[in-house]
């Protein structure tokens, strides 16, 4: 397939995934900040939301204070924030238009009708909490519908695999960023100061990767930071864990390698990351330092993005 | 201006035979039902994303072309005449182009004046002596046809460069079949759906000799911001070929390749929807980012077929248009089946004088214009506009031609105040491959939605209709 088509499919999937992740982050933050101060302590959750979205620096160039109004505005609707939900949807639509021929009509319809629907939101905004909640739900549903359409209607060929790679690379990045911002509340109990306040932080983390219920099913335990870290990093049954994302990335890259009859640096690099995740346990990770581990992962993950681009997309 | 020819009603109250069933159906169908389906059609167009961009319109970059749900109907007999005339016309266009870029018999015979060719900016000296496979220059032609009476079909324009609109012909039919299955059940309408297949066959048939037995065809688009982008992606999809932009192509050793995830892949035939000027920055406009550097040398080496060929603009130029009847006679020795609109060539002093004296009754067009931009419709223009145009004409008479204001035929159309006659034209699409010329029965009917308006161009507020050729 055309390199440009593969590139568009890959980015289209990333934009949709990112939009969903932002919607989840805002949703989770709204929940936590609605609690009385006594339950969440003094941390500014809106600041954390900006950090996990990776846009704190640019935010503070435009705004003074990270409060609900400003952050929701910046993450959802701002045209100046290149990765706002609005810009993600716009970019997804533009990418879809560029690769109309590689999309199934169901995928196109999902993106195009969401785009049409959201024009009204862009022009009117969300004046009430209810409007905002509806908007955030709509964005998440669009992503689900897009994913479902891809899964149910696309031919299983390189177009599908490039698109899935976009999803998993973006997803791994998002999960890693939450961990990066929140790692301090996940440290083993003897090491961190905080206490029962953190329960709400923990549930908020799980909520933003839609894993709160999953946690209980996997561990049958009350929320424990150690296990939360285990779930998000190493448990490959959770679709948003780093291990699961890399299981899928390796699989997709292998499928492309087989179809094209050759492998390259992208396959090797992805396998390297997956092996590291497979052979780690939480003990080692905490020994090594969660923060360092996550930062290395984020760098490795974005390096894989560069390698894929060089090997296939240009 | 004469009374327009009504394609449905015969003066005196009778209906033309092709419209009888439709008229019965309209009588049975309440206006609300029609309105409801009209809205449904609009929703479908919007969801499928059948939009076009209007240049210079900042308020909305993507708009829908209004779709009128009342079909325009022609009988098989009428179509037979039109089809024959179109084939004749396109054969002559191809022979004319072959001659202009080779022997130039027609110039020696003094049928067409030399300077109209050689001083014409759309004449491409690069094409002199260049062989094109099977001598086909115009693989896809969109000939604009109007009617002024029951007998004659008149060619308004020959579009021999990159005519657009065929996606509307196909999508209009799809949507009509979805919305009005009952109406189709009551008519025998000739299908149009084999157009993509015929187009692909035509394109493959003209692959260069150096191509493999399974030639690779690609559609070259200027990109998502082009007004006809939807059509480009639609056609690429229906043909099952790659939709490429200039940056996806690269020329090596005079062969053209596309950049794919598996490396470079050779391309043999390019259905290009990019104008000559932008095709190759090394040959034409150096500032073009839409083209492919080196494409013209691959073309000269005979390793790539461009459809349509480079330089076809010289055949559909409005100044050449007025010579078309002579061109048909010269090459084919036949009387033209399709008529021309009488045309005054402003470059000729006698004609110019007449045009200047009768501006308020004429349509004046720029020789190199298209899309309905930059034309004067005398009867509809204000005094000031006419005077401004008069100055332009005097300054550069060779840039214009003038024609009488034709009373284009009308078809019943949905309007705010119920069904009413509106002026229409027709653009059938004529495909020429190595062996044959084919036309799917129908074409794109464009309709001027404003009462009394004669401008059907989508860029000027025109709409479209499904076109039915009854297969009796």
How does pLDDT run across A161-191, given as a tens digit for each residue? 999 999 999 999 999 998 888 877 776 655 5
Rounded to the nearest angstrom, the minimum Cα separation between B133 and chain A is 27
In this structure, the number of other CB atoms found within 10 A of the CB of residue B297 comes to 16
Q: How far apart are CA B174 and CA B328, in angstroms?
A: 36
With a cut of 80, say whether residue B309 has pLDDT above it. yes
Q: How far apart are CA A169 and CA A270, in angstroms?
A: 10
- Indicate whether B45 belongs to any domain: no
Residue where a domain terminates, one of B405, B425, B453: B405
Query: Given the structure tokens 């078309």, which residue do they identify?
Result: B324
Mutual orientation of helices A85-98 and A129-153 as an angle, nearest 10°? 30
Question: Which one, of A73, A88, A74, A87, lies nearest residue A17 by Cα?
Answer: A88
Average pLDDT (B80-89) is 97
Residues B295 and B347 both lie in one domain: no
In which band, very low, low, confident or very high, does the pLDDT at B371 lie, cut at 50, 70 and 90? low
Domain count, chain A: 2
Question: Which one, of B191, B186, B141, lies nearest residue B467 by Cα?
Answer: B191
Rounded to the nearest angstrom, the minimum Cα separation between B221 and chain A is 10
Of A94, A100, A312, the CB nearest to B261: A312
- Indicate whether B284 belongs to any domain: yes
In which band, very low, low, confident or very high, does the pLDDT at B375 lie, cut at 50, 70 and 90? confident
- Indicate whether B229 belongs to any domain: yes
In which band, very low, low, confident or very high, does the pLDDT at A65 lie, cut at 50, 70 and 90? very high
Query: Given the structure tokens 């179809």, which residue do they identify?
Result: A259
- Indicate whether B282 belongs to any domain: yes
In which band, very low, low, confident or very high, does the pLDDT at A197 lie, cut at 50, 70 and 90? low
Q: How far apart are CA A18 and CA A89, in angstroms?
A: 9
Residue where a domain terminates, one of B277, B303, B329: B303
CB A154 within 8 A of CB A104: yes
Helix (H, G, I), strand (E, B) or coil at A24: helix
With a cut of 50, say whether residue B105 has pLDDT above it. yes
Cα distance from N-terminal residue to C-terminal residue, chain B: 35
Q: Give the predicted TM-score (pTM) of the model.
A: 0.87
Average pLDDT (B358-380) is 82
Is B261 in Cβ contact with A113 (below 8 Å)? no
Residues B293 and B349 both lie in one domain: no
Of A100, A109, A162, the CB nearest to B47: A109
In which band, very low, low, confident or very high, does the pLDDT at B2 lie, cut at 50, 70 and 90? low
Domain count, chain B: 2
With a cut of 90, say whether residue B335 has pLDDT above it. yes
Question: Which one, of B135, B134, B139, B126, lies nearest residue B97 by Cα?
Answer: B135
Residues A200 and A297 both lie in one domain: yes
Residues A13 and A74 both lie in one domain: yes
In which band, very low, low, confident or very high, does the pLDDT at A194 lie, cut at 50, 70 and 90? very low
Whole-number pLDDT of residue B340: 94
Supply the range of the domain harboring residue B267: 209-303
Residues B295 and B216 both lie in one domain: yes
Comparing B252 with A123, the larger pLDDT belongs to B252
Residues A209 and A297 both lie in one domain: yes
Q: What are phi and psi of B143, to 5 degrees?
A: -100, 120
Supply the range of the domain harboring residue A146: 1-153
Residues B296 and B348 both lie in one domain: no
For residue B221, the domain's CATH number is 3.40.50.11290
DSSP string across B217-277 = EEEE---TTSTTHHHHHHHHHHHT-EEE-GGGEEEETTEEEEEETTEEEE--EEEE-S-HH
Residues B281 and B357 both lie in one domain: no
Residues A254 and A299 both lie in one domain: yes
Whole-number pLDDT of residue A195: 55
Residue where a domain terminates, one of B303, B324, B356: B303
In a 13 Å sphere around the CA of B76, the CA atoms on its Cβ side amount to 8
Residues A136 and A162 both lie in one domain: no
In which band, very low, low, confident or very high, does the pLDDT at B442 lie, cut at 50, 70 and 90? very high
For residue B400, the domain's CATH number is 3.30.1490.270
Q: What are phi and psi of B273, to 5 degrees?
A: -115, 30
Q: How far apart are CA A89 and CA B173, in angstroms?
A: 31
Residues B283 and B350 both lie in one domain: no
Whole-number pLDDT of residue A182: 81
Q: Residues near B39 by Cβ (< 8 Å), separated by ≥ 6?
A: none
Residues A125 and A200 both lie in one domain: no
CB B400 within 8 A of CB B362: no
Residues B293 and B346 both lie in one domain: no
- Indicate whether B271 belongs to any domain: yes
Residue where a domain terminates, one of A153, A182, A202: A153
With a cut of 80, say whether residue A79 has pLDDT above it. yes
Express each pLDDT in A220-258 by its tens digit: 988 888 899 999 999 999 999 999 999 999 999 999 999
With a cut of 80, say whether residue B40 has pLDDT above it. yes
Q: Residues near A216 by Cβ (< 8 Å), separated by ≥ 6?
A: none
Residue where a domain terminates, one of A118, A153, A188: A153
Q: For a pLDDT cut of 70, what percent of chain B falls above it? A: 96
Instruction: List residues of A whose CB lies inside 8 A of any B CB.
Output: 1-6, 94, 97-98, 100-101, 108-109, 112-113, 116, 158, 162, 256, 260, 312-314
Residues B289 and B354 both lie in one domain: no
Chain B residue numbers with beta carbons less than 8 Å from the beta carbon of A267 are: none
CB A228 within 8 A of CB A186: yes
Express each pLDDT in B187-202 by its tens digit: 999 999 999 999 999 9
Residues B296 and B218 both lie in one domain: yes
Long-range own/partner contacts, residues B294-302 (CB < 8 A, 24 or more apart): B294/B251, B294/B254, B295/B249, B295/B251, B295/B256, B296/B126, B297/B251, B297/B254, B298/B251, B298/B254, B298/B255, B298/B256, B299/B130, B300/B126, B300/B130, B300/B254, B301/B254, B302/B131, B302/B208, B302/B209, B302/B210
Of B223, B237, B262, the CB nearest to A100: B237
Average pLDDT (A271-293) is 91
Is B243 in Cβ contact with A312 (below 8 Å)? no
Pairing outcome for strands B418-427 and B410-415: antiparallel
- Indicate whether B238 belongs to any domain: yes
Whole-number pLDDT of residue A193: 46
- Indicate whether B62 belongs to any domain: no
Residues A82 and A181 both lie in one domain: no
Question: Which one, of B391, B421, B386, B387, lies nearest residue B407 by Cα?
Answer: B421
Rounded to the nearest angstrom, the minimum Cα separation between A98 and chain B is 6
Residue where a domain terminates, one of A153, A169, A196: A153
Residues A209 and A311 both lie in one domain: yes
With a cut of 50, say whether residue B79 has pLDDT above it. yes
Express each pLDDT in A27-49 by its tens digit: 989 988 888 877 766 678 899 89
Residues A45 and A98 both lie in one domain: yes
Is B262 in Cβ contact with A260 (below 8 Å)? yes
Query: Given the structure tokens 């990045």, which residue do they identify?
Result: A173
With a cut of 60, say whether residue B158 has pLDDT above it. yes
Chain B residue numbers with beta carbons less than 8 Å from the beta carbon of A260 are: 261-262
Q: How far apart are CA A152 and CA A162, in angstroms?
A: 16
Pairing outcome for strands B263-266 and B269-272: unpaired
In which band, very low, low, confident or very high, does the pLDDT at A196 lie, cut at 50, 70 and 90? low
Comparing B220 with B226, the larger pLDDT belongs to B220
Average pLDDT (B147-169) is 93
Residues B291 and B347 both lie in one domain: no
Average pLDDT (B310-318) is 93
Helix (H, G, I), strand (E, B) or coil at B453: coil
Chain B's closest residue to A108, CA to CA, is: B48
3-state secondary structure A25-46: HHHHHHHHHCCCHHHHCCCCHH
Chain B residue numbers with beta carbons less than 8 Å from the beta carbon of A97 are: 49, 224, 229, 233
Average pLDDT (B434-439) is 95
Average pLDDT (B437-443) is 96
Pairing outcome for strands B444-448 and B462-469: antiparallel
Express each pLDDT in B54-67 by its tens digit: 555 444 557 778 89
Of A3, A101, A113, the CB nearest to B47: A113
In this structure, the number of other CB atoms found within 10 A of the CB of residue B115 comes to 10
Q: Is B224 on the interface with A (CB under 8 A)?
A: yes
**Measured CA distances, B192 to B49, B177, B399, B431, B444 (Å):** 21, 12, 38, 13, 11
Comparing B249 with A190, the larger pLDDT belongs to B249
In sequence order, the β-bridge partners of residue B436 are none
- Indicate whether B220 belongs to any domain: yes
In a 13 Å sphere around the CA of B42, the CA atoms on its Cβ side amount to 12
Chain B's closest residue to A119, CA to CA, is: B60
Query: Given the structure tokens 């936590």, which residue do they identify?
Result: A32
Question: Which one, of B319, B354, B343, B413, lies nearest residue B4 by Cα?
Answer: B413
Residues A190 and A297 both lie in one domain: yes
Residues A89 and A203 both lie in one domain: no
Chain B's closest residue to A2, CA to CA, is: B260
Residues A167 and A55 both lie in one domain: no
Comparing B297 with A221, the larger pLDDT belongs to B297
Express each pLDDT in B378-423 by its tens digit: 888 899 999 998 999 999 998 899 999 888 999 999 988 889 999 9
Q: Residues near A249 by Cβ (< 8 Å), separated by ≥ 6?
A: A165, A168, A169, A172, A270, A274, A304
CB B359 within 8 A of CB B376: yes
Widest Cα–Cα separation across chain B: 69
With a cut of 70, say whether residue B100 has pLDDT above it. yes
């Amino acid at each position: 397939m055309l390199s440009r088509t593969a590139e568009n499919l890959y980015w289209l999937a990333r934009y949709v995934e990112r939009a969903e992740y932002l919607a989840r982050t805002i949703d989770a933050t709204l929940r936590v900040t609605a609690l009385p101060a006594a339950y969440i302590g003094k941390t500014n959750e809106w600041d954390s939301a900006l950090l996990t979205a990776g846009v704190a620096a640019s935010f503070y160039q435009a705004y003074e204070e990270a409060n609900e109004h400003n952050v929701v505005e910046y993450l959802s609707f701002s045209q100046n924030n290149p990765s706002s939900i609005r810009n993600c949807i716009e970019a997804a639509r533009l990418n879809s238009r560029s690769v109309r021929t590689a999309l199934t009509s169901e995928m196109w319809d999902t993106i195009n009708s969401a785009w049409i629907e959201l024009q009204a939101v862009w022009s009117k905004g969300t004046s009430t909490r209810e409007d905002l909640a509806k908007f955030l739900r709509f964005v998440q549903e669009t992503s689900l519908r897009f994913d479902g359409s891809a899964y149910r209607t696309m031919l299983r060929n390189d177009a599908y695999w490039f698109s899935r790679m976009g999803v998993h690379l973006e997803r791994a990045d998002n999960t890693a960023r939450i961990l990066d911002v929140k790692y301090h509340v996940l440290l083993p109990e003897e090491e961190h100061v905080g206490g029962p306040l953190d329960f709400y932080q923990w549930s908020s983390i799980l909520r933003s990767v839609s894993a709160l219920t999953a946690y209980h099913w996997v561990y049958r335990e009350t929320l424990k930071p150690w296990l939360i870290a285990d779930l998000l990093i190493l448990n490959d049954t959770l679709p948003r864990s780093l291990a699961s994302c890399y299981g899928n990335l390796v699989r997709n890259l292998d499928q492309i390698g087989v179809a094209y009859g050759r492998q390259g640096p992208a396959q090797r690099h992805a396998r390297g990351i997956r092996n590291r995740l497979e052979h780690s346990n939480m003990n080692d990770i905490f020994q090594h330092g969660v923060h360092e581990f996550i930062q290395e992962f984020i760098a490795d993950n974005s390096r894989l993005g560069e390698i894929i681009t060089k090997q296939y997309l240009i | 201006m004469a009374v327009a020819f009504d394609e449905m009603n015969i003066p005196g109250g009778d209906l033309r035979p092709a419209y009888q069933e439709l008229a019965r159906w309209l009588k049975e169908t309440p206006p609300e039902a029609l309105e409801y389906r009209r809205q449904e059609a609009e929703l479908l167009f919007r969801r499928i994303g059948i939009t076009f961009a209007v240049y210079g319109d900042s308020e909305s970059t993507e708009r829908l072309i209004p779709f009128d749900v009342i079909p325009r109907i022609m009988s098989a007999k009428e179509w037979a005449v039109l089809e024959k005339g179109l084939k004749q016309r396109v054969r002559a266009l191809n022979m004319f182009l072959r001659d202009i870029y080779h022997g130039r018999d027609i110039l020696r015979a003094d049928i067409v004046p030399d300077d109209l060719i050689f001083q014409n900016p759309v004449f491409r000296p690069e094409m002199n002596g260049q062989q094109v496979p099977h001598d086909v220059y115009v693989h896809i032609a969109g000939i604009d046809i109007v009617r002024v009476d029951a007998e004659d079909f008149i060619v308004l324009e020959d579009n021999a460069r990159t005519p657009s609109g065929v996606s509307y012909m196909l999508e209009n039919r799809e949507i009509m079949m979805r919305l009005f299955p009952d109406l189709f059940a009551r008519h025998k309408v000739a299908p149009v759906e084999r157009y993509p297949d015929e187009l692909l066959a035509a394109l493959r048939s003209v692959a260069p000799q150096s191509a493999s037995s399974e030639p690779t065809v690609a559609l070259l688009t200027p990109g998502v911001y082009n007004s006809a982008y939807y059509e480009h992606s639609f056609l690429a999809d229906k043909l099952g070929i790659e939709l490429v932009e200039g940056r996806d192509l690269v020329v090596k050793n005079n062969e053209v390749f596309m950049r794919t995830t598996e490396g470079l892949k050779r391309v043999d035939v390019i259905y290009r929807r990019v104008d000559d000027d932008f095709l190759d920055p090394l040959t034409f406009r150096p500032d073009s980012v839409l083209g492919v550097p080196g494409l013209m040398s691959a073309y000269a080496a005979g390793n790539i077929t461009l459809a349509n060929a480079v330089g076809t603009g010289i055949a559909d130029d409005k100044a050449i248009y007025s010579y078309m009847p002579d061109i048909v006679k010269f090459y084919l020795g036949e009387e033209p089946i399709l008529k021309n609109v009488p045309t005054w060539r402003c470059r000729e002093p006698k004609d110019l004088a007449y045009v200047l004296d009768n501006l308020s009754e004429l349509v004046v067009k720029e020789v190199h214009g298209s899309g309905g931009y930059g034309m004067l419709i005398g009867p509809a223009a204000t005094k000031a506009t006419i005077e401004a145009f008069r100055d332009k004409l005097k300054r550069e008479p060779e840039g214009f031609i003038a024609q009488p204001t034709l009373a284009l035929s009308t078809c019943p159309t949905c309007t705010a105040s119920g069904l009413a006659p509106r002026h229409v034209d027709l653009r059938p699409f004529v495909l020429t491959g190595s062996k044959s010329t084919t036309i799917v029965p129908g074409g794109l009917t464009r309709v001027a939605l404003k009462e009394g308006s004669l401008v059907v161009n989508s860029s000027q507020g025109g709409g479209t209709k499904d076109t039915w050729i009854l297969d009796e």
